[in-house]
Structures are given as C-alpha cells and as structure tokens.
Structure 1
Amino acid sequence: MANHKSALKRHKQSLVRNARNRAMKTRVKNAIKAVREAVTLGDKEKATVALKAATSVLDKAATKKVIHWRNAGRKVSRLSVAVSKLG
C-alpha cells in the first residue's frame, strides 16, 4: 500500500475508475447478450430495438476508452449483420 499522500490519492482514484470500467464492461456484455437472444428467437422487432441500445452502449464505452474503438465497431457490425439476416 502507498505511504505518500499523493500515492494514496492515486490508489483511491484507480479503485474508483476500476469499478466504473467494470460496470461499463458488464453493461456492454448484457447489451450484446440481449441482441443475440432476440436473434436466436427470431424476433426481428425486439432484435432491432436491442441493437439500437447495444450500439449506443458500445459507442459510449469506446468513447470512454473502456474498450477499443475498433473492437466496438466490429461488435456493432457483426450484431447488425445478424439482425439484418433475420429479415
């Protein structure tokens, strides 16, 4: 554990950021799971709504640098292809 005042502050900040990033990653995983479940059920309307929500969550995670922007783009692309195949 850190002994200097500034090091203690940095440690506390890292714990807060770690919790925030973990929450964002969980949100991303849940959004992706919702789209995939709708696709497996074959529900086009539900999948489209879930895709819109997932795109928003992924873009926000990429903006906050929780995940890489290319990773977010790839996930959005693959999910939208899966939803469009339902048509």
Structure 2
Amino acid sequence: MANHKSSVKRIRQEKKRTLHNRYYAKTMRNAVRKLRAITDKEEALKLYPSVQKMLDKLAKTNIIHKNKASNLKSKLACHISKLG
C-alpha cells in the first residue's frame, strides 16, 4: 500500500481514468466491428462519419494512438469502397 497521501490520490485517479479509457476504447471497437459487419454500402456510408469522429476524438485525448486511428479510418474507408 502507498505511504504518501499524493500516491494514494494518484492511485484513485488512475483507477477512475483507466475505467473511463476502457469504456471509450471498447465503445470504439464495437463501432468499428459494427461498421465492418455491414454489407450495405448506403448504411456503411451513413455510419462512417460518426465512427471517424469517434476515432479522431479518442486519438486527440490519447486514448488510442493517432496512427492507430488513421490506420483504422483508412481500412474502414477501403472496406466501404469495396462494398457493392
């Protein structure tokens, strides 16, 4: 157990932050999965901007790396373009 008051606080903050980050990362993964599962191009095009916005926000707040966000957006755009 931590001995300093500040380290006890730090532990509390990290738990809260971890829970917050895990929630948003999981939400993002589910949204990406949902978009990949769609076979209709119209539906995919409607959903893509919201997923793209979510990825950008998470990259901006360092929940995911900016390159990971870029790679996911690129792959999703490629997936949508291949739909017929």
Q: 1:54 aligns with which of 51, 75, 79?
A: 51
What is the CA distance between 1:3 and its match in structure 2?
A: 2.3
User: Within 1, Cα distance between the matches of 2:71 and 2:25?
Assistant: 16
Give me the whole-angstrom Cα distance separating, in 2, the residues matched to 1:50 and 1:26: 17
For the aligned residues, what is the CA RMSD? 1.0
The correspondence of residues 1-87 of structure 1 with structure 2, limited to 5 A, is 1-38=1-38, 42-87=39-84
Task: Kindly report structure 1 stretches of 4+ aligned residues shifted beyond 2 Å.
Answer: none
The whole-number CA distance in structure 2 between the counterparts of 1:62 and 1:50 is 19
**Which ranges of structure 2 fall in alignment gaps of 5 or more residues?**
none
Q: Deviations over 1:2-35 (max 9, x none)?
A: 1221111100000011001101111110110111
Moved more, 43-52 or 57-66: 43-52
TM-score, normalised on structure 2?
A: 0.93
Aligned length, in residue pairs = 84
Of structures 1 and 2, the one with the larger relative CO (CA 8 A, separation 6+) is: 2
Deviations 1:42-68 (A, max 9, x none): 211111122111101111110010111
Give the % identical residues. Answer: 38
What TM-score results when the alignment is normalised by the length of structure 1?
A: 0.90
Rounded Cα–Cα distance in structure 1 between residues aligned with 2:73 and 2:54: 10
